[in-house]
Chains A and B, each alone.
Chain A
Amino acid sequence: MTNNPIITTEKLIKKFPMGKGEFLALKGIDLEFNEGEFAGLIGPSGSGKTTLLNIIGSLDTPSEGEAMVLGQPVSQLTARQAAQLRKEKLGFIFQSYNLLAVHTVFENVEFPLLLLKYTPSQRQKMVMDALEWVGLTDKVNSKPPALSGGECQRVAIARAMVKKPMVVLADEPTANLDAANSHNILKTMEMLNKELKTTFLFATHDEKVISYLHRKIFLIDGKIDRDELIK
């Protein structure tokens, strides 16, 4: 990890309409993440961790305040610029894997590279490298419905990592996995964090994930309760 902040949030507020009023999901979040961090937003349901992750991922915009992601202000990005940021610099891992069911493992992992217009030979090499990181080179032609939950999440990790993004955002990545698979996945991500210096940012309330984190940011009701750095 270096002392090079790549994500900062300043007085971040997010409101959602609720009936006739509003629901305040984030109440002025100030945070800073450095390159190569392995950090997590921890809190119960409704604490605002997924909302914060979505804003950092430029999938959503703040109601007030600003989030700077890799030097770009999320609230001021056009839809095209936000898409460009996600396409080039960010990787996503979801709780329910979100794999494209009709595509093979290879095609799922290849998808971000197709968007980045790599040549077929480059894609072939990069996909196989990514599948090797997650130990799925024998499943290249399988389709997601034929894979176990753990294998699906490993494909999702390969898809997020294949383009070597600067930041990977993982929303409850182990929620649908058993303990053995969870540890397996987390070890893989920890290894990728060390080897590729990719910043990992989790939203979780799973103890297994929490035990792997190097930085724990506890959120309660849209506010930071405490921010712990594990030596």
Chain B
Amino acid sequence: MFLALKLAYRNLVGAGLRTWLNVIVLSFSYVVIIWLKGLMVGWDHQARFDMEKWQIAKGQYWHKLYDQYDPFSLTESHAPVPQRFLPFITEGAMVPVLVVQASLYPHGRMQPILLKGIPKNQNLLKLPVAALDTITDAIPAIIGTNMARSAKLGKGDRVVLRWRDKSGTFDAAEVVVTDVFATNVPAIDGGQVWIDLEKLRQMMLLPNEATYLSFGQGIKEIPEVNEFVLKTQQELTSEIDVMIKTKTTGQSVFYIILLLLAMLAIFDTQVLSIFRRQKEIGTYVALGYTRQQVVMLFTIEGAMHAVLAAAVAAVYGIPFFIWQSHAGFTIPMDSSDYGIAMAQTMYPVFTVGLIVSTTLIVLITTAVVSYCPSRRIAQMNPTEALRGKIQ
């Protein structure tokens, strides 16, 4: 085996430009596949991190009737905050949120929205709630950049808000946008207006009530407390898993195309080698190799392209990966339009596992692709091979 490795290396290096062309093509595959996978991992990390910071913290308790995809359930999905949670809310380790339906009238047109109430003194979530603590004749409100764009609203703009309270009575008031926040979490941005929780409770005649509560570190997780059901962080981020999985499947088509291109070059080289090196094959047999050993030698030679490519990829890939993980990859279009948790600049994350698994996949694929044409050697007649006769 060691001899085969030694010989394969000598033959490869001796083949000169042909080897290096294959190696360079294959090294591109390594770098691009690792980079794309790293981008996916980075996106996954970032989406989870942002969701935790902006929306879910370490987990949530939802009112048992709350369904974030069904606005009609909102009239029923609220209840008084359980006594058990009150000390945590006072400590700031838990944040109650009340969600109701309302209508906004920006520039004279009606826009249905979700009106959310959040304590203006909370620090658990990254929402800029300090802007809600403003003394003004209108209701202070904060909105996300997506919402600001769709409603054509900006900081300082006033707009009429209409809602229906617990009794079914319509009421209206003016809100003033005191801050516009930029977030990568669309679930707290599009079609939503955030105001102070106490103000919303007054408006809705729902004192002490909440739709869901987000909690931070150190809160004991209990499956159900009164009418509130535990939603773990894992459950709440499961959509990201599905999304990343879908994206990864889509990307694997791209990996396959890249690998196919590289493998085509390797396959072609192997076929050409076996065609051109008949005499050499015969010589190996005459000097004491079995045909199977020659097959192994040619397979190793082909597979060694992947080893050399890994070395070449490391030379320019490692600095590129280090730079990318710091500078990130900025998406040319506005990512907020995509409606998914995606930052404008994504920072790829390159783990050892990712690099090792990609290297192994490329190595094994190259070995298989090298072996297939090499099998022909086993059927060759060595006496004809020695004369260089094409078989």
Contact = CB atoms under 8 A, between A and B. Distances in A.
B280 interface: yes
B291 A79 contact: yes
21 contacts: A50-B383, A57-B286, A59-B383, A60-B383, A83-B285, A86-B286, A86-B287, A87-B288, A88-B288, A96-B388, A98-B279, A98-B286, A100-B283, A102-B15, A111-B287, A112-B287, A112-B288, A114-B7, A115-B287, A115-B289, A159-B287
Given A94-B386, A100-B280, A80 B290 contact: yes
A92 interface: yes
Contacts of A159: 287
Interface residues on A, range: 20 to 34
B282 A98 contact: yes
Interface in A135-167: 159
B356 interface: no
A101 B286 contact: no
B168 interface: no
Contact of B10 (A54, A96, A98, A103): A103
B288 A83 contact: yes
B1 interface: no
A115 B290 CA distance: 11
Interface of B: 3, 6-7, 10-11, 13-15, 279-280, 282-283, 285-293, 381-383, 386, 388
A5 B6 CA distance: 39
Given A100-B283, A112-B287, A115-B287, A107 B3 contact: no
Nearest to B385: A59
Given A84-B288, A102-B15, A159-B287, 18 more contacts: A59-B285, A59-B286, A59-B382, A59-B383, A79-B290, A79-B291, A86-B285, A86-B288, A87-B287, A92-B287, A96-B279, A98-B286, A99-B283, A100-B11, A100-B283, A111-B287, A114-B7, A115-B3
Given A103-B14, A115-B288, A98 B383 contact: no
A100 B8 CA distance: 12
Contacts of B386: 59, 94, 98
A125 to B, nearest CB: 19
Contacts, number: 66
A96 B280 CA distance: 11
B286 A92 contact: yes
Contact of A101 (B14, B285, B293): B14
Interface string A175-211: 0000000000000000000000000000000000000
A114 B13 CA distance: 19
Contacts of B11: 100, 102
Instruction: Count chain B CB atoms within 10 A of each CB in A57, A86, A88, A100 and give the residue with the most.
Output: A100
Instruction: Count chain A CB atoms within 10 A of each CB in B3, B7, B283, B292 and give the residue with the most.
Output: B283
A57 B285 CA distance: 11
Interface in A26-68: 50, 54, 57, 59-60
A111 B288 CA distance: 10
Nearest to B288: A87
Contact of A114 (B3, B279, B381): B3
B280 A54 contact: no
A50 B286 CA distance: 14
Contacts of B6: 114
B365 to A, nearest CB: 26
Contacts of B388: 96
A55 B293 CA distance: 21
Interface string A7-19: 0000000000000
A50 B384 CA distance: 11
Contacts of B382: 59-60
Q: Which 8 A-B pairs have the closest CB atoms?
A: A102-B14, A87-B288, A98-B283, A83-B290, A92-B286, A54-B383, A115-B288, A86-B288
Contacts of A79: 290-292
Contacts of A83: 285, 288-290, 293
B382 to A, nearest CB: 5
A88 B287 CA distance: 9
Nearest to A92: B286
A155 B285 CA distance: 18
A89 to B, nearest CB: 10
Nearest to A102: B14
Contacts of A111: 287
Nearest to A115: B288
A98 B14 CA distance: 16
B193 to A, nearest CB: 73
A199 B285 CA distance: 21
A227 B6 CA distance: 46
A83 B382 CA distance: 12
Nearest to A54: B383
A96 B168 CA distance: 102
Interface string A67-96: 000000000000110011011100010101
Nearest to B279: A98
Nearest to A82: B290
Contacts of A112: 287-288
A51 to B, nearest CB: 8
